[in-house]
């Protein structure tokens, strides 16, 4: 078991460079001159007894990752 975690957020799905798809949902976003791309995410780290059934469902519905 390791004592660290590394998040590497990216703007594309796994293996997008090899898929050949360039639409915004399934591939690699392609931006033209002056265009931008923004996103956000949240992560919560919870240990042992902090992970009750209620907190797991609430966090999942909020799109927050729970790691133990």
Q: What global pTM score does this model have?
A: 0.40
Instruction: Provide the pLDDT confidence category of residue 68 given band limits of 50, 70 and 90.
Output: very low
Q: How far apart are CA 53 and CA 21, in angstroms?
A: 38
H or E segment and range at residue 43: strand 43-45
38, 31 in Cβ contact below 8 A? no
The model's pLDDT over 29-59, given as tens digits with 9 standing for 90+, comes to 778 999 998 878 777 777 766 655 555 555 5
**What three-state secondary structure class fits 4?**
coil
Measure the CA–CA gap between 5 and 67, rounded to whole angstroms: 9
How far apart are the C-alpha atoms of 64 and 34, rounded to whole Å? Answer: 31
């Amino acid at each position: 078991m390791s004592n660290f975690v590394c998040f590497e957020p990216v703007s594309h799905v796994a293996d997008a460079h090899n898929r050949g798809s360039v639409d915004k949902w399934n591939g690699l976003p392609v931006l033209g001159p002056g265009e931008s791309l923004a996103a956000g995410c949240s992560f919560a780290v919870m240990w042992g007894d902090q992970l009750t059934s209620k907190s797991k469902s609430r966090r999942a519905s909020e799109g927050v990752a729970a790691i133990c």
